[in-house]
Amino acid sequence: MKTTAYYLEALAREGLTHVFLVPGGLIDPFLEDLTRTSGLTAVVAAHEGGATFMADGYARASGRFGACLCIGGPGVTNTLTGAVAASTDNSPVLILSGQVPTDWEGRGGFQDSSPATLNDLAMLDPAVRKSLAVENTHLAAHHLRSALTAMLAAPQGPVHLSLPTDVQRGDIATPWTPLDATLYHPRVYDPVAMERALTILSPSGGDPAPRRVAILAGAGVEKSGCADELLRFAERYAIPVATTLRAKGVFPEDHPLSLGVFGYAGHRHAIEGLLSGGVEVLVVLGSGLSQRDTLFWDRKMLPSRALIHVDIDPRVIGRTWPAEVSLCGDCGEILRLALAADSQRLGGLERSVPERRQWLDGIRAAGPRCYDAQNQECADVPLHPARVLAALRRVMPRQGGLVVDSGAHRAFCGHYWQAYAPRTYFSATNIGPMGWAIPAACGIKAARPDVPLAVVTGDGCMLMHGMDIQTAARYGLAVVYVVINNAALGNVWLRAHQEGPGPAALTEIPRRDWAGMARAMGLGAAVVERPEELEPAFEKALASGTAYLVDVRCDKRFATPVTPYAQAKAVWHDD
């Protein structure tokens, strides 16, 4: 079997249904096999960065991994931002790049970026888990398995393989053997640390059990696929749950035990509840406790008795604060073990349920979950983004998905949008590349075609990756693109205009007709300028069953709902 056919057959046998690419001379040998590999659909993106974002979106939505194809040289350099976004969010993506024939290397061949020249392996190396050159056909199968294994090992992330064209045309005799399922869903935990965690939650020997126990759920819960176990554990012991922004949706945000998002763009119940000083035990599940997940590392969130930090990546445990229990393991396995503990083992935690419910009632009594909740009904023209999101949430089905780009709209979405299930809220949160959501939505929709899907992006993001709306239209991907058209790089403008008209002008954008551009690209489109037009426009877009863009004219002057985060940032800088 030709190497290219072998690689594509391997992807199909690993459960992938789509591969994303930008064709070019150095991957010409793949093209014929792309058209005839059963079960695998090729999606051509507008830009290699977009193809990488699509593969990233596909990985996040599918729970498998994503794959993209590009040429070496400029193709690989265009994937770098996508590789970094996938790496920092632990998203498994396979980047396959074509390279000049091995006997051209270093001789001045066109687009030669082999290790003998520009060395695109080295360019990607800091951004991926492994970057390898497949220098001969004998290594093609071995290197593919090695790369996929590195990609799926904790913590997951992207990998890169460079294939010279002569290797692409070579033959591989041995068929692909699918990876063991345990690579995708490892069941690992530290039994000694697990026992310490159970003892803290329910001490033996008559010691009092903690009453005020809370959970901060991070992306590790989503990646482990254990949202159901989290819900069952929280309900059994009446434990309130906050999530990080990256994990939004792993716990239903309308559940009585939900505190909402803690950290950047967080909610009142989560922020005031965890910073109150009343938490005795905080269980952190699958969060590395980054800057945004901790309100600038605010030590007020540290509990009075014990921090139990669970993560499959040992490097992040203790990175921010030492924990009384450092539990390296899979979040799902930890929760299943906790659920399997009998009533005697966790009897103390069970007996303290009434006091925990009373504590939670007090947190809720502090005020509405959202700060400035009235913004969701704001009648101003140009529109308030909170009003836009409220209208979109009313129209979208409960299990519909939202893909959020980088900019001021990220804060509005994190705060005002309610998510009810895992893998329904998508955002590249840790590195935050602008324009990510536009192509990523194509990958998400390819992975989950039956889920209604909307994107909230901005005019600045459209300038960067807006061309990939045509990819959604070309392949019949029913994505509703909502452009917050505020004629500015919104988040930057909110800071810059305070410095004077000169800095503000550098962050302003001429108002463009994004609906007109969308129609030219084959999408349905509408312009919305008034509040009463929002819901009818969104209903029409969703009912169209096609790629559709709604150009929403908003005001850049509305402050983002990040006041607690900004206050914590100011304290950090002052200190």
Cβ 165 vs Cβ 100: under 8 Å: yes
pLDDT at 575: 57
Which residue has tokens 């069941």? Answer: 187
Mean pLDDT over each residue of the chain, to the nearest integer: 96
Burial of 365 (0-12, 13-18, 19+ CB in 10 A): exposed
Cβ 139 vs Cβ 124: under 8 Å: no
pLDDT (mean) for 117-124: 96
Domains and their CATH numbers in the chain: 3-181 (3.40.50.970), 191-364 (3.40.50.1220), 373-564 (3.40.50.970)
Separation CA 551–CA 559 (nearest Å): 20
Question: Each residue of 184-203: pLDDT tens digit?
Answer: 988 889 999 999 999 999 99
Separation CA 169–CA 166 (nearest Å): 5
pLDDT at 192: 95
For the cut 90, the answer to whether the pLDDT of residue 215 exceeds it is yes
pLDDT (mean) for 401-405: 98
Separation CA 178–CA 71 (nearest Å): 26
**First and final C-alpha spacing in the chain:** 63
Give backbone dihedrals phi and psi of 107, rounded to 5 degrees, phi first.
-100, 10
Percent of the chain residues past pLDDT 90, beyond the cut: 95
Question: Each residue of 446-479: pLDDT tens digit?
Answer: 999 999 999 999 999 999 999 999 999 999 999 9
pLDDT (mean) for 473-492: 97
pLDDT at 207: 80
User: Which secondary structure element, helix H or strand E, spans residue 474, and what is its range?
Assistant: helix 469-474
Cβ 251 vs Cβ 241: under 8 Å: yes
Label residue 555 by pLDDT band (50, 70, 90): very high
Separation CA 2–CA 167 (nearest Å): 9
For the cut 70, the answer to whether the pLDDT of residue 173 exceeds it is yes
The DSSP output letter for 103 is G
pLDDT (mean) for 293-310: 96
pLDDT at 573: 66
At residue 207's C-alpha, the angle toward residues 204 and 213, to 5°, is 90
pLDDT (mean) for 118-128: 97
Which residue has tokens 């393991």? Answer: 329
HSE on the CB side for 221, CA within 13 Å?
A: 29
pLDDT at 204: 82
pLDDT at 180: 94
pLDDT at 530: 98
Give backbone dihedrals phi and psi of 99, rounded to 5 degrees, phi first.
-140, 160
Question: Each residue of 64-89: pLDDT tens digit?
Answer: 999 999 999 999 999 999 999 999 99
Label residue 489 by pLDDT band (50, 70, 90): very high
Kind of pairing, strands 241-243 and 258-261?
parallel
Strand partners, 456: 404, 482
Question: Each residue of 249-283: pLDDT tens digit?
Answer: 999 999 999 999 999 999 999 999 999 999 999 99
Listed range (75-84, 339-348, 377-386, 435-444) with the worst mean pLDDT: 339-348
Separation CA 69–CA 66 (nearest Å): 11
